[in-house]
Amino acid sequence: MTELLDELEKIHSIAIQNPKDLPPETRKRFWNIVRQIKKNPKSVDSEVIKAAEIRNILFEANRGRAYPLGPVLGLETILGLLALWGYIWALGTPLDWTGIFIWSLSDWMTFGIRFLFVFVVIAFIYPIGRVIAGKWAGIKLEGMCRDQYYEPTVKIDYVTFLKAPASKRKWFFFFAGIWTVVTSFWLWVVGMILAMDYTALILTIILVLFEGSVILSGNPSSTRGEMGHYNREKRIEREWEKNLANLNSTTQVD
């Protein structure tokens, strides 16, 4: 048994008793160990499996159960398409963008309805980004759950996540984040074709500014969304690459 595995066993015995009240120092130590596992290009299977078990205990205590991916994703896709239909329906009410500075209350209500439909489409289609990214990165997905803001998201299979190369973990989150920008951009294209509408472009610009600011800030906090995760994995990738180079140089010497 490795030293890390021994620590993980002790943390597991504490977490399984009362995961919602896990001592802060124990929780902090657990995530420090997870980072060590992520930085190791030759991860130890037993450590990965035990870390994933603890994470799942804490995840369920914090987020609740995960629901089957297929049915929920299908439902969300249908809801997203219905919202898309609502947006197209809202385009039937004329809105003169050249006179935006003299819009009436009715015009602003029309804009608000369009904006709401665009936002809902992006929210419901968002999980598809994680599904596509997971397929590419070889990271399995366990099901649908809620995130810290009570919005729908996709639960990651932590074993395949920890075993994935650092670069793939990084790009997994980047694509999942940029997917919202891609979705809003195509909604703008639809709006322009059907009614010369700029509603989705406004949201696209907001998303680009937000995601870009997070990347530039380097903030790794989970409160910064997918790009916060991207920043965290980007930092870890640097250490992962150094450790891989050291392993390769050691192997060559041997």
Mean pLDDT throughout 24-51?
94
Same domain assignment for residues 11 and 87: no
pLDDT mean across residues, the chain: 92
Domain termination site, one of 45, 63, 81: 63
pLDDT greater than 60 at residue 253: no
Claim: this prediction has a pTM higher than 0.85 = yes
- Rounded to whole angstroms, the Cα distance separating 71 from 182 reads 24
Residue of 141, 82, 119, 102 whose CA lies nearest to 202:
119
pLDDT score at 187: 97
Domain termination site, one of 63, 85, 113: 63
- Rounded to whole angstroms, the Cα distance separating 233 from 162 reads 11
Q: DSSP class of residue 67?
A: B
pLDDT greater than 60 at residue 254: no
Same domain assignment for residues 10 and 103: no
Same domain assignment for residues 52 and 178: no
Same domain assignment for residues 15 and 76: no
Same domain assignment for residues 127 and 249: yes
For tokens 């294209």, the residue is 189
Same domain assignment for residues 144 and 34: no
pLDDT score at 67: 87
Same domain assignment for residues 9 and 125: no
Same domain assignment for residues 229 and 113: yes
Total domains in the chain come to: 2
Mean pLDDT throughout 226-245?
94
Tell me which of 31 and 154 has the higher pLDDT: 31
Q: DSSP class of residue 107?
A: H
Same domain assignment for residues 53 and 87: no
pLDDT in tens, 195-221: 999 999 999 999 999 999 999 999 998
pLDDT in tens, 103-138: 999 999 999 999 999 999 999 999 999 999 999 999
- Rounded to whole angstroms, the Cα distance separating 96 from 14 reads 62
pLDDT in tens, 80-111: 999 999 999 999 999 999 999 999 999 999 99
pLDDT score at 20: 86
pLDDT greater than 70 at residue 251: no
Same domain assignment for residues 82 and 185: yes
- Rounded to whole angstroms, the Cα distance separating 183 from 201 reads 11
pLDDT in tens, 43-76: 899 999 999 999 999 998 888 888 899 999 999 9
Domain termination site, one of 38, 63, 88: 63
Containing domain of residue 19, as a range? 3-63
- Rounded to whole angstroms, the Cα distance separating 237 from 243 reads 10
